[in-house]
Amino acid sequence: MSRTRSADRIADARVIVTCPGRNFVTLKVITEQGVTGVGDATLNGRELAVAAYLTEHVIPVLIGRDPARIEDTWQYLYRGAYWRRGPVTMSAIAAVDTALWDIKGKVAGLPVYQLLGGRSREGVTVYGHANGETIDEAMAAVAHYLELGYKAVRVQTGVPGLPSTYGVSKDQMFYEPADAAIPTENVWSTQRYLEHTPKVFARAREEFGPYVKLLHDVHHRLTPIEAARLGKALEPYGLTWLEDPVPAELQEGFRLIRQHTTTPIAVGEVFNSIYDARTLITEQLIDYIRTTVVRAGGITHLRRIFDLAALHHVRSGSHGATDLSPVCLAAALHVDIAIPNFGLQEYMRHTEETDAVFPHGYWFEDGYLFPSEEPGLGVDIDEELAAQYPYKPASLPVNRLEDGTMHDW
Ligand code: CS2
Ligand code: MG
């Protein structure tokens, strides 16, 4: 059969692993005509698994392919692997997909959001992380974000009686959970946490009034009935969302939460595919789906998830922690600005070293991020600078109950 194809071919692709403060894995694709595209392939704590998957199994089959065939390449890598889904495979597919959208934008001379249908809004509303060991410290952090112009703030505090907990950092602006080569261990008590958390939000509403958007991340630590109790206790404080209240392998568990509380629920940063969220979306068991470009198979598959969500009153709330590189954030912003059902975008600022390794055209102003207007994604990797920061093993922590039982982190 004769095959129609564009004039260009993929000539080369390489994986760049760098650690400008934290580890990142980036795929760079180069065409015969010299167009380059980048994609984020970072999987926090498992970086080298994705790097090897790309180098050993994906790059060899990319060479010679038509870079214009984004959908076909996605299907080729997804169906063709036979072993479907999972964070390693889907992060690798995402990196290829993102790089090909970057190339398509450059060839067209348009920013990627124009290829997705153009702007649906002026700017992308982002939320920052206000962390504090105590409620007072957390309130000071909220005030700081509001001064910077943020309209939405996630609030996390230490829990009295527990030596350390999720989301609390020593540094006000940068929270970095992957903090040691061998995982550190935290101790957890659901009882202490459920007792404490409503007090945090009572204080936040008292100090900051009814209009700032407040969010909270449970980090998968409760059972459905415990999450229902927390959601109910937080109702007076009008949260924008309660994130990851329970581990989400069991999608039907969310029915129980839904029956008991009107606090909106956000889920999905660890999801890799539309099938992970299908029941949650189609039964309207959640309000925000938090998948993002690198974790959920790139722009092509993420768009598919968000389109399904749009049919069921579910809005986007893409994950944007520091372990997703500026390449992922740049790509996410093109999606965020274009889709009809955008909700919020997480924005944890990258360090100066990271920003220097990944020169980018997106910018923050008055609580909004704006995607680059350059053709493509408007982000690149400075390979010489990246080479100055060699990979350092870093793991996410683990969590145990007070009696030593392993618990969800
Ligand atoms: C978090 C992340 O940003 C979030 O909502 O849950 O900090 C998450 O723990 C990390 O991205 C894990 O790599
Ligand atoms: Mg989270």
Q: Are 127 and 150 in contact (CB under 8 A)?
A: yes
Question: What residues pack around ion ligand 2 (CB closer than 5 A)?
Answer: 217, 269
Is there an atom of ligand 1 within 6 Å of 177 CB? yes
Per-residue pLDDT tens digits for 295-328 = 999 999 999 999 999 999 999 999 999 999 999 9
Please write down the HEC assignment for all residues of 129-156. EEEECCHHHHHHHHHHHHHCCCCEEEEE
Is there an atom of ligand 1 within 6 Å of 346 CB? yes
Write down the residue that tokens 């600005």 correspond to.
337
Q: In this model, does residue 2 exceed pLDDT 90?
A: no
Q: Residue 389, Cβ neighbours under 10 Å: how many? A: 18
Report which ligand 1 atom has the smallest distance to the Cα of 322: 11
Per-residue pLDDT tens digits for 221-252 = 999 999 999 999 999 999 999 999 999 999 99
Is there an atom of ligand 1 within 6 Å of 323 CB? yes
Helix (H) or strand (E) holding 217: strand 213-217
The backbone torsions φ and ψ at residue 290, rounded to the nearest 5 degrees and listed phi first, read -100, 20
Per-residue pLDDT tens digits for 18-41 = 999 999 999 999 999 999 999 999
Choose, from 150, 166, 362, 368, the residue flagged as catalytic: 166
Per-residue pLDDT tens digits for 271-296 = 999 999 999 999 999 999 999 999 99
Q: Are 303 and 117 in contact (CB under 8 A)?
A: no
Per-residue pLDDT tens digits for 43-88 = 999 999 999 999 999 999 999 999 999 999 999 999 999 999 999 9
Per-residue pLDDT tens digits for 176-218 = 889 899 999 999 999 999 999 999 999 999 999 999 999 999 9
Q: Give the number of the ligand closest to the Cα of residue 394.
A: 1
> Going by CA atoms, what residue is nearest to atom 9 of ligand 1?
177
Does the domain at 115-373 match CATH 3.20.20.120? Answer given as yes
Is there an atom of ligand 1 within 6 Å of 287 CB? no
Distance between CA atoms of 107 and 269, rounded to whole angstroms? 31
Tell me how far the alpha carbon of residue 188 lies from the centroid of ligand 2, in angstroms: 17
| Closest CA relative to residue 256, chosen from 289, 226, 277 | 226
Q: Are 289 and 265 in contact (CB under 8 A)?
A: no
Catalytic annotation present for 113: no
> Going by CA atoms, what residue is nearest to atom 7 of ligand 1?
321
